Amino acid sequence: MSELCKVIDSLLISNARAACKKELLITEGVTCCINISKRQPFPDHDLHTLRIPVFDHPLQNLSKHFDHCTDLIDSTIRSGGKCLVYCKHGRSRSATICIAYLMRCKNMTLMEAFQMVKRVRPSIEPNAGFWSQLESYEKSLQRNQ
């Protein structure tokens, strides 16, 4: 499995170790990193960065950050950049944000978005709390259409 997994051309997902490899980010053309953790480091590279300080725990409220993160991913892509979303292992928190982006900005269902991310990064597994938040997000997106 590649260290930086390409969800779509300009949206990537990885773990923290890969996200801190400067040469990998430069090669891939990453211009923005969203770090979904309280403790993982930021890359030592001149990038636009955002930290969403949550633990990978079912009771953490990640959904309150969905719109902010998806807006940042969307604006990065629209301006010609590439966005990397990562957390410690690249399995739950970062996957949840990538799925939320696909649902909101690419009009995918939760299952379509999950399967798309799972195809490129088979190890993803949003925790039960995040999955429930994604289900609620899907319903709110459908109501707002």
Cβ distance 37 to 51 under 8 Å? yes
33 labelled catalytic = no
Residue type, 122: P
List Cβ neighbours of 48 (8 Å cut-off, separation of 6 or more). 31, 32, 33, 76, 81
Closest CA to 137 of 65, 87, 54: 65
Beta bridge partners of 33: 49, 84
Alpha-carbon distances of 37 from 9, 34, 41, 49, 142, rounded to whole Å: 24, 9, 9, 12, 29
Dist. CA 9–CA 106, nearest whole Å: 13
Q: Which residue among the candidates 5, 20, 33, 87 is catalytic per the annotation?
A: 87
Q: Which residues are catalytic?
A: 87
